[in-house]
Structure 1
Amino acid sequence: MNFDLPRNVILPVDAIDVRLDSGPHPFARENAEAIAENWQREIAVKPALFDGTVVLLSQLAYRDNRLVGRCHAVNYSTFMLWRKRRENSGAEHAYAHAMLVAGDNALVAIRMGSHTVNAGRVYFAAGSFEPDDFRDGQVDVDFNMIREVREETGLDLSAARRGVRWHALSTTRGTVIFRRYHVDEPADEIARRISAFVASETDPEIDGPVIIRHAGDLPDGLALHMKPLIEWHFSGVD
């Protein structure tokens, strides 16, 4: 099986060996015409979309607390069509979340801007893996996490205390790899800093911060994968 890992359960992850294959993803190669046609429809609705480079998985497995997989660089337009045809596509998506934990144990998430594909959705600052997130062909998940948080919120988590390991939650819609990043300031101060950054940006990617103070504090627009992550955090497990 190309994708062999438990679904809908939070998994402890001690090592991540996801490699970037230099060849094209079969989904991109086999759907070139449909990708181009769908992209024209997408940008007609959201002209701000950019056809950059992200990666799609062709393999992912979970063995002995390790994630092992292979992925390929694709245009964002390929990813957009895949979102509509993911079932039996031979492709899956993985992404990373830096779970931002404030000094008062609240979580600080973000709400995506109205011009983005996920407009209004609430989740931790994140983005798809890009070729720059790979070192010697292997994905550097923490580099991706820190980069995305900095780009979207202005916060630098490079010196933040990290959870002892990663965790992952895999569903048929994708696999999120996440890790706690602890910041000493209380949630209100972190949110203030993020709001100030957003106000200073000409074209911010997010609308602003969202504070989550307990397991039942679920904001409107919460992404489907977030509820189990929030419950996991406030359960106190490590």
Structure 2
Amino acid sequence: MRFDLPRNVILPVDAVDVRLDPGPHPFARSNAAAIAENWRQEIAANPALFDGAVVLLSELAYRDGRLVGRCHAVNYSTFMLWRKRRENSGAEHAYAHAVLVAGDNALVAIRMGPHTVNTGRVYFAAGSFEPIDFREGLVDVDFNMIREVREETGLDLSTAERGQRYHALSTANGTVIFRRYQVAETADELARRITVFVATETDPEIEGPVIIRHAGDLPAGLMPHMKPLVEWHFGGDR
């Protein structure tokens, strides 16, 4: 199977069947020395980095409206080397976005903080899948979405209205799985709440909220994968 899914097109996804393999990822096993040396350099440049556990895919396919795949837990240091050697690495990255829709239909994204690897970049509050996001070996995408939004913004989306299904966009840089989360508050009110939360954090992950009010409202620093998602939302696709 390896990686068999259409690229650069938004796909409707009715189920995500991505399972956690307890064995090591072949990329981690084959590049141990290079991972250690690269991490030494990364830490020297940014001491705030933490070598926690994330997951990398070894397989992903799109079958009959389902994403089916296999992943392995790796250290963040492994992920950082993979980012530099992703081509023909036998590994890919998947992550999730809760597309936060305010009561006035504006989108609320975030700008990453200065000590992160994506400093100044704009996207929906998100993070890589971690082992905690798996239930009996199967990824719980909504758990990941809700957890990451809470950690980065202080907002609790557990009772928000969710879109009927997931969607996915796969590019050469990774696969984003996303879903609308609709709340009643206006974008300005959500932004105010996020700003208050960030101000209380000792070491916030994000710089602050970013409101996107229409398809042409593309802020500086917007990650490339975000433009199709913004256009998808304001185009009325459900």
Which TM-score band (shorter chain)? over 0.9
Q: How far does residue 160 in structure 1 lie from its aligned partner after superposition?
A: 0.1
Q: What's the CA shift string for 1:48-104, capped at 9, x where partnerless?
A: 000000000000000000000000000000000000000000000000000000000
Tell me, in whole angstroms, the C-alpha distance in 2 between the residues paired with 1:119 and 1:176.
Answer: 19
Q: How far does residue 23 in structure 1 lie from its aligned partner after superposition?
A: 0.1
Tell me, in whole angstroms, the C-alpha distance in 1 between the residues paired with 2:174 and 2:15.
Answer: 19
Whether 1:81 aligns to 2:81 is yes
Number of the residue aligned with 1:132:
132
Number of the residue aligned with 1:112:
112
Tell me, in whole angstroms, the C-alpha distance in 1 between the residues paired with 2:237 and 2:201.
Answer: 37
Secondary structure in 2 aligned to 1:222? coil
Tell me, in whole angstroms, the C-alpha distance in 1 between the residues paired with 2:45 and 2:134.
Answer: 32
Whether 1:63 aligns to 2:63 is yes
Whether 1:192 aligns to 2:164 is no
| Paired-residue identity, % | 84
Secondary structure in 2 aligned to 1:179? strand
What letter matches 2:52 in structure 1?
G
Q: What's the CA shift string for 1:103-142, capped at 9, x where partnerless?
A: 0000000000000000000000000000000000000000
Q: How far does residue 196 in structure 1 lie from its aligned partner after superposition?
A: 0.1
Q: How far does residue 43 in structure 1 lie from its aligned partner after superposition?
A: 0.8
Tell me, in whole angstroms, the C-alpha distance in 1 between the residues paired with 2:93 and 2:6.
Answer: 15
Whether 1:234 aligns to 2:212 is no
Number of the residue aligned with 2:91:
91
Tell me, in whole angstroms, the C-alpha distance in 1 between the residues paired with 2:185 and 2:63.
Answer: 37
Q: What's the CA shift string for 1:186-208, capped at 9, x where partnerless?
A: 00000000000000001000000
Tell me, in whole angstroms, the C-alpha distance in 2 between the residues paired with 1:61 and 1:145.
Answer: 21
Number of the residue aligned with 1:155:
155
- Count of residue correspondences: 238
| Aligned positions of 1:195-206 closer than 5 A | 195-206=195-206
Gaps of 5+ in 1: none
Tell me, in whole angstroms, the C-alpha distance in 2 between the residues paired with 1:202 and 1:171.
Answer: 35
Secondary structure in 2 aligned to 1:219? coil
| Aligned positions of 1:22-41 closer than 5 A | 22-41=22-41
Number of the residue aligned with 1:8:
8
Q: How far does residue 210 in structure 1 lie from its aligned partner after superposition?
A: 0.0
Tell me, in whole angstroms, the C-alpha distance in 1 between the residues paired with 2:105 and 2:46.
Answer: 37
Number of the residue aligned with 1:49:
49
TM score, norm. by length of structure 1 = 1.00
Number of the residue aligned with 2:211:
211
Q: How far does residue 185 in structure 1 lie from its aligned partner after superposition?
A: 0.4
Could you list the runs of 4 or more consecutive aligned residues of structure 1 that deviate by over 6 angstroms after TM superposition? none
Q: C-alpha root-mean-square deviation of aligned residues, in Å?
A: 0.4
Number of the residue aligned with 1:102:
102
Number of the residue aligned with 1:141:
141
Q: What's the CA shift string for 1:19-58, capped at 9, x where partnerless?
A: 0000000000000000000001101111100000000000
Tell me, in whole angstroms, the C-alpha distance in 1 between the residues paired with 2:224 and 2:40.
Answer: 28
Tell me, in whole angstroms, the C-alpha distance in 2 between the residues paired with 1:165 and 1:67.
Answer: 12
TM score, norm. by length of structure 2 = 1.00
What letter matches 2:172 in structure 1?
T
Tell me, in whole angstroms, the C-alpha distance in 1 between the residues paired with 2:45 and 2:215.
Answer: 35
Tell me, in whole angstroms, the C-alpha distance in 1 between the residues paired with 2:223 and 2:45.
Answer: 21
